Amino acid sequence: MRSGSAFPRSSVHPLAGRTILQIIPELDAGGAERTAIDVAAGLADVGARALVASEGGRLVGELQAHGGVWIPFPARTKNPFSMLANVRRLARIAYHERADLIHARSRAPAWVGLGAARALGIPFVTTFHGSYAGRSAPKRLYNSVMARGDTVIANSAFTASLVKSLYGADEERVVTLQRGTDLTEFSPAAVSPERVDALRRKWEVAPHERIVLLAARLTGWKGQKVLIEAAARLRDRGHRDLVYILAGDHQGRDGYVKELDRLIADRGLAGTVRRVGHCTDMPAAYLAASVVTVPSTEPEAFGRVAVESQAMGTPVVVSDLGAVPETVLAPPEIPASARTGWRVPAGDPDALADALDEVMALGASAHESLSRRARVHVEQHFSLETMISGTLSVYGALLAKRNG
DSSP assignments along 58-101, one per residue: TTHHHHHHTT-EEEE--TT---HHHHHHHHHHHHHHHHHTT-SE
- pLDDT tens per residue across span 225-241: 999 999 999 999 999 99
Q: Which pLDDT belongs to residue 80?
A: 95
Share of the chain above pLDDT 90, in %: 83
User: Helix 364-381 to helix 304-311 angle, to the nearest 10 degrees?
Assistant: 120
The vertex-58 CA angle with 184 and 55, nearest 5°, equals 125
Q: Do residues 48 and 268 make contact, with C-beta atoms less than 8 angstroms apart? A: no
- Inform me whether the pLDDT recorded for 13 exceeds 50: yes
Q: What's the CA gap between 302 and 286, in Å, rounded?
A: 18
Q: Do residues 71 and 93 make contact, with C-beta atoms less than 8 angstroms apart? A: yes
What value does the mean pLDDT take over residues 183-208?
A: 97
Q: Do residues 373 and 338 make contact, with C-beta atoms less than 8 angstroms apart? A: yes
- Inform me whether the pLDDT recorded for 55 exceeds 80: yes
Average pLDDT score, the chain? 93
Strand order in the sheet with 273-277: 273-277, 242-247, 210-215, 291-294, 316-319, 342-344
Phi, psi of 102 (to 5 degrees): -115, 135
- Inform me whether the pLDDT recorded for 2 exceeds 70: no
- pLDDT tens per residue across span 292-308: 999 999 988 888 899 99
Phi, psi of 32 (to 5 degrees): -65, -45
- Inform me whether the pLDDT recorded for 10 exceeds 80: no
Q: Which of 160-164, 248-252, 362-366 has the lowest average pLDDT?
A: 248-252
Q: Which residues of 38-51 are buried (b: 16+ CB within 10 A; e: fewer)?
A: bbbbbbbbbebbbb
- pLDDT tens per residue across span 322-364: 998 889 999 999 999 999 999 999 999 999 999 999 999 999 9
Q: Which fold, 19-179+383-399?
A: Rossmann fold (3.40.50)
Q: What's the CA gap between 383 and 38, in Å, rounded?
A: 12
In terms of Cα–Cα distance, which of 26, 27, 25, 31 is closest to 216? 31
Q: For domain 188-381, is the CATH number 3.40.50.2000?
A: yes
Q: Which pLDDT belongs to residue 133?
A: 65
- The boundaries of every CATH 3.40.50.2000 domain in the chain are 19-179+383-399, 188-381
Q: What's the CA gap between 352 and 227, in Å, rounded?
A: 7
Report the half-sphere exposure of 333 (CA within 13 A, side-chain side). Answer: 12
Q: What is the pLDDT confidence band of residue 252, given thresholds at 50, 70 and 90?
A: confident
Strand partners, 175: 153
Q: Do residues 279 and 155 make contact, with C-beta atoms less than 8 angstroms apart? A: no
Q: Do residues 220 and 251 make contact, with C-beta atoms less than 8 angstroms apart? A: no
- Inform me whether the pLDDT recorded for 12 exceeds 80: yes
- Inform me whether the pLDDT recorded for 53 exceeds 50: yes
Long-range contacts of 235-238 (CB under 8 A, 24+ apart): 235/268, 235/269, 235/272, 237/353, 237/357
What value does the mean pLDDT take over residues 37-64?
A: 96
- Inform me whether the pLDDT recorded for 6 exceeds 90: no
- The H-or-E segment that residue 212 falls in is strand 210-215
Q: Which pLDDT belongs to residue 54?
A: 97
Q: Report the first-to-last Cα separation within the chain, whole angstroms.
A: 29
Q: Do residues 18 and 42 make contact, with C-beta atoms less than 8 angstroms apart? A: no
What value does the mean pLDDT take over residues 259-272?
A: 98
Question: By three-state DSSP, how is residue 251 classified?
Answer: coil
Q: Do residues 25 and 55 make contact, with C-beta atoms less than 8 angstroms apart? A: yes
- pLDDT tens per residue across span 87-129: 999 999 999 999 999 999 999 999 999 999 999 999 999 998 8
What value does the mean pLDDT take over residues 32-61?
A: 95
Q: What is the pLDDT confidence band of residue 287, given thresholds at 50, 70 and 90?
A: very high
Q: What is the pLDDT confidence band of residue 3, given thresholds at 50, 70 and 90?
A: very low
